[in-house]
């Protein structure tokens, strides 16, 4: 059982709200997109955001989540996500729906913000195990951003030049 400082609790409550928003956005956007592969990507990310949300709840309840168990599940999820992103990337073609481009832009901005918020939170935690857990979540948020970026770039929605 870990004891959290008031600041740590506040930071976790903030991250929990961020994860809830990500779950809601990915779920809603999966229902709005025209591309079945993008729908699959959004649904997969929503599931992973739910896992993040549950992990934060564990920490708030004084438990240190078992990273090894989570990592095995997470590695399998990442392989599935990479496969979905690769399938989406392989689907070259005409400029995608503008609506999809707006959804993707919003999620990329959201992931940038959430990753940045984790970066700040990580430095405020006294327990190194919790830091590792938050760092792991942040890495997955960055992978979401990369998947979104790759999809956008391959469909002519994002030009990094």
Instruction: Supply the pTM of this predicted model.
Output: 0.84
DSSP secondary structure string for all residues of 91-152: ---SPPPHHHHHHHHHHHHHHHHHHHHHHHHHHH-S-HHHHHHHHHHHHHHHHHHHHHHHHH
Q: Are 28 and 45 in contact (CB under 8 A)?
A: no
The pLDDT of residue 20 is above 80: yes
Query: What pLDDT band is residue 98 in, cutting at 50, 70 and 90?
Result: confident
pLDDT value of position 79: 54
Task: Indicate the angle between helix axes 6-32 and 98-124, nearest 10 degrees.
Answer: 170
The pLDDT of residue 59 is above 50: yes
Cα distance between residue 14 and residue 120, in whole Å? 12
Question: What is the rounded average pLDDT of the residues 103-122?
Answer: 96
The pLDDT of residue 69 is above 70: no
Question: Does the structural domain 6-63+98-154 have CATH classification 2.40.50.100?
Answer: no
Residue spans of the domains in the chain: they are 6-63+98-154
Query: What pLDDT band is residue 77 in, cutting at 50, 70 and 90?
Result: low
Question: What is the rounded average pLDDT of the residues 95-113?
Answer: 89
Q: Which is more confident, 118 or 79? A: 118
pLDDT value of position 43: 97
Q: Are 40 and 28 in contact (CB under 8 A)?
A: no
Tell me the backbone φ, ψ of residue 118, rounded to 5 degrees: -65, -40
The pLDDT of residue 93 is above 50: no
Q: Which is more confident, 95 or 15? A: 15
Question: What is the rounded average pLDDT of the residues 9-35?
Answer: 97
Chain-centroid distance, C-alpha 100: 18
């Amino acid at each position: 059982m870990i004891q959290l400082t008031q600041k740590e609790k506040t930071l976790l409550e903030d991250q929990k709200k961020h994860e809830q928003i990500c779950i809601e956005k990915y779920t809603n956007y999966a229902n709005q997109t025209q591309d079945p592969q993008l729908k699959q990507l959004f649904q997969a990310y929503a599931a992973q955001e739910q896992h993040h949300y549950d992990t934060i709840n564990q920490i708030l309840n004084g438990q240190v989540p078992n990273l090894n168990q989570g990592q095995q599940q997470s590695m399998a999820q990442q392989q599935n996500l990479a496969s979905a992103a690769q399938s989406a990337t392989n689907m070259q073609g005409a400029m995608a729906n503008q609506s999809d481009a707006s959804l993707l832009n919003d999620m990329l901005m959201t992931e940038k913000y959430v990753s940045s918020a984790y970066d700040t939170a990580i430095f405020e935690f006294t327990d190194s195990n919790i830091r590792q857990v938050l760092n792991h979540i942040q890495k997955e948020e960055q992978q979401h951003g990369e998947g979104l970026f790759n999809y956008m770039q391959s469909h002519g929605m994002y030009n990094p030049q």
